[in-house]
A = this chain, B = another copy of it.
Amino acid sequence: MKYSIFGESHGPAIGVVLEGVPPGLALSLDAIRFDLSRRAPGQSALSTARQEADEPQILSGVFEGKTTGAPLCAVIENTDARSGDYAKTKDLARPGHADYPAHVRYAGFNDYRGGGHFSGRLTAPLVFAGGVAKQLLAQKGVSVGAHISTVYGINDDPLEDWESLRACAAKPFPVLNDDKGAEMQEAILEAKNEQDSVGGAIECAVFGLPPGLGAPDFGCNAEGVFSQHLFAVPAVKAVAFGAGTAFALMRGSEANDPLYVDGDGSIRAEQNCAGGVNGGITNGMPLVFEVTLRPTPSIARRQFTVDLAKHENAELELTGRHDPCVVHRAVPVIEAAAALAACELMGI
C-alpha cells in the first residue's frame, strides 16, 4: 500500500490516493471521522481557531461500502480558508518554517497561502490514510496507540499497556496521567499568552506485530521504514526506538533484553529496551518509539528574518490563527504514520 497526499491549505481541496489497498475491507468512515476529529482544530483555546468539518469524500476504490482493491482517493474540501491573512507577509520568510528553502526548491512558485502544501492541514489526509491502515491492521490483530509523553519538559507517566493507550484516545488531551496533562495545558496557555509556542514529544506503540518482519538491509529495515514515515510528519525532528537516546547512558548488561519462553510457548523478553526491533527485524514485543516535535514556528512575537522579494533583512509580526502547540493534535497523525509503516512491514 502506497499513499500520495496532495493539496494546499487554501486550494479547493486536499486529499490522498492509496494504492494497493487490499480488497474487501468494510471501511468504517466513522472510525476515520473520529481520528480526524482528534486532529481537528478549533476545539479549545489550545489550538488554532480555524474551523472545518474535515468530511472526507471518497471518489474511488470503495464500492458498496467495501474496498475494491483499486486505488482509493479521498478528498476533503477546504471551506474556512482566509487567504487575506497571509498576503501581506508573503515575502517574509517565517523563521522555523520552510518558507525560505521552499522558495529555493520551488523557484518561488509555491503557494504561500497558509503554508500551502507545507500546512499542518495536510495531515488530515494522512490521518485518513492511517485510518484505512489501522482497520487493515485490526484484521490481523495489530493495534496502534499513542500518548503525549512531553510538553515543554513536563513528562507524562511511562507507557504500560495497550489498554491505557486505548483509554487515552478518547481524551481531548491524550495523556496517561491527567494531572500531568493539566500541567502541560497550563504551559501551553502560558506560552500562548506570551505570544509563543511550545514543543513536545509523543510516544507511540504498535501492539501485535508478529516477530520476523523487516531485514537488516537498507530499505527493508524496520526502524528505517518507520522513521521514513514519521519524518514525513511536519514538525517531527527526532525518532527514537525503545530506550532511544538513553542507550548512550547504558551498559550492555542493562540494555540487553533477556529472553524467555512464555506460558503460551511464545518467546518474549523480560523488558523492552529494544522497542520491539533487533537488527532491523521485529521481535514480537510491542514496537515502541518516541518522536520529538519542534515548537510551532508561527508565533506572534516580532522576529528577525529576510524579505525574499527584496532580498534584505526584515522584521516580521505574524497575525492570523496559530497553534501554540501541535503536540496534542499530532497524536492521531503519529498513529497514522505508524499504522502505514506497520502495513508496509507486514506487506499489506
- Where the two chains meet, the residues of A that have a C-beta atom closer than 8 Å to any C-beta of B are 3-8, 11-15, 17, 19, 23-24, 57-61, 63, 66-73, 75, 93, 95-102, 104-111, 116-118, 122, 150-153, 191, 196-201, 210-219, 221, 223-225, 227-232, 234, 236-245, 247-261, 265, 267, 269-270, 273-275, 277-284, 292-299, 301, 303-306, 311-313, 347
Contact = CB atoms under 8 A, between A and B. Distances in A.
Contact of A218 (B5, B217, B253): B5
A279 B200 contact: no
Listed residue (A228, A236, A294) with the most chain B CB atoms within 10 angstroms of its CB: A294
Contacts of A245: 201, 238, 240, 245, 292
A46 to B, nearest CB: 15
A96 B152 contact: no
Contacts of A257: 95-96
A111 B61 CA distance: 8
B237 A293 contact: no
B297 A255 contact: yes
Given A261-B311, A283-B100, A224 B234 contact: no
A269 B305 CA distance: 9
B67 A109 contact: yes
A2 to B, nearest CB: 8
A225 to B, nearest CB: 8
Each complex incorporates copies of this chain amounting to 4
B14 A17 contact: no
Contacts of A196: 251-253
A275 B100 contact: no
Given A211-B101, A247-B294, A267-B306, A96 B255 contact: yes
B100 A252 contact: no
Contacts of A254: 295
A313 to B, nearest CB: 5
A198 B68 contact: no
Contacts of A217: 4-5, 19, 71, 232
A100 B7 CA distance: 37
Contact of A240 (B237, B256, B281, B296): B237
A111 B301 CA distance: 54
Given A201-B248, A251-B295, 4 more contacts: A4-B71, A71-B117, A191-B252, A347-B347
B243 A294 contact: yes
Listed residue (A108, A109, A196, A237) with the most chain B CB atoms within 10 angstroms of its CB: A237
Nearest to A289: B238
A231 B237 contact: no
The 3 closest A-B pairs by CB, nearest first: A98-B279, A104-B212, A238-B240
28 contacts: A3-B218, A5-B217, A6-B17, A6-B70, A6-B71, A8-B61, A12-B57, A17-B17, A69-B215, A95-B259, A104-B210, A152-B248, A191-B252, A196-B251, A199-B255, A218-B232, A219-B232, A223-B236, A227-B231, A237-B242, A238-B239, A243-B294, A244-B292, A247-B294, A248-B293, A253-B303, A255-B295, A256-B297
